[in-house]
Structure 1
Amino acid sequence: MSPTFTPTTTDDEVATAFSNEIKGKNVLITGTSINGLGFQAAQTIAKYANLVIITGHSAERLKLAEDALKTAVPGANIRPLILNLASLDAVRKAATEVNAYPEHIDILINNAASSICGFHLTPDGFEQQLATAHLGPFLFTALIFPRVLAAHTSSFTPRVINVASGAHAWCEGINLAELARPKEDTYAGMRAYAQAKTANILMARELTRRAGGRVVGFSLTPGAVLTNFVQNEGARPELLAKGIILEDGSPNPNTPFPWKTLPQGAATILAAAFDPSLNDKPGAYLANSVENNAGVAPHASDAGTAEKLWTLSEQLVGVKFL
Structure 2
Amino acid sequence: MSQEFSFTTTAEEVAAAFAGEIKGKNVLITGTSLNGLGFEAARAIARYANLVVITGYDEGRLKLSEDVIKKENPTAKIYRLSIDLASLASVRQAADEVNRLTEPLHVLVHNAAIAFVDFKLSEDGFELHYATNHIGPFLLTKLLVPKLLASASPDYTPRVVFVSSAAHALPGGHDVGFAALTNPDPTNYSRSGGYRQTKSANVLMGFELSKRSKGKINAFSLHPGLIYTKGFDKDYALVHFQNAGILDEHGQPVTSHAWKTIPQGAATTVAAAFDPSLNDKAGAYLADCQAANDQISPHCADPGNAEKLWNITENLIGESFSF
When normalised by structure 2's length, the TM-score is 0.96
Q: Aligned partner of 1:111: which letter? A: N
Cα distance per residue 1:83-112 (max 9 Å; x no partner): 100111111111111111111100000000
SS in 1 for 2:139: helix
Q: CA shift at 1:249, angstroms? A: 2.4
The question of 1:181 aligning with 2:183 is answered: yes
Q: CA shift at 1:236, angstroms? A: 2.0
Q: Which residue of 2 aligns with 1:294?
A: 294
Q: Aligned partner of 2:254: which letter? A: N
Report the count of equivalent residues.
320
Q: CA shift at 1:44, angstroms? A: 0.3
1:100-119 matches, within 5 Å, as 100-119=100-119
Q: CA shift at 1:248, angstroms? A: 2.5
Measured in 1, the distance between the counterparts of 2:136 and 2:246 equals: 27
Contact 2:2 2:289 in 1 (8 A): no
- Larger CA deviation: 228-237 vs 215-224: 228-237
Q: CA 1:230–1:72 in structure 2 vs 1: closer, same or farther (change >3 Å)? A: farther
Cα distance per residue 1:141-161 (max 9 Å; x no partner): 101111011111101000000
Q: CA shift at 1:229, angstroms? A: 2.9
Cα distance per residue 1:155-177 (max 9 Å; x no partner): 10000000000011121211212
Measured in 2, the distance between the counterparts of 1:247 and 1:131 equals: 32
Q: Which residue of 2 aligns with 1:308?
A: 308
When normalised by structure 1's length, the TM-score is 0.97
The question of 1:204 aligning with 2:180 is answered: no
Measured in 2, the distance between the counterparts of 1:274 and 1:99 equals: 22
Measured in 1, the distance between the counterparts of 2:86 and 2:184 equals: 15
Q: Which residue of 2 aligns with 1:264?
A: 264
Q: CA shift at 1:273, angstroms? A: 0.5
The question of 1:39 aligning with 2:39 is answered: yes
Measured in 2, the distance between the counterparts of 1:59 and 1:13 equals: 29
Q: CA shift at 1:254, angstroms? A: 2.7
1:33-112 matches, within 5 Å, as 33-112=33-112
Over aligned residues, Cα RMSD in angstroms? Answer: 1.2
Q: Aligned partner of 2:198: which letter? A: A
Q: CA shift at 1:79, angstroms? A: 0.4
Contact 2:285 2:292 in 1 (8 A): yes
Q: Which residue of 1 aligns with 2:275?
A: 275
Contact 2:28 2:53 in 1 (8 A): yes
Cα distance per residue 1:245-289 (max 9 Å; x no partner): 22332212233xx10001110110011011000011111100001
Contact 2:53 2:80 in 1 (8 A): yes
Structure 1 runs not aligned, ≥5 long: none
1:184-195 matches, within 5 Å, as 184-195=186-197
Q: Percent identity?
A: 50
Q: CA shift at 1:190, angstroms? A: 0.8
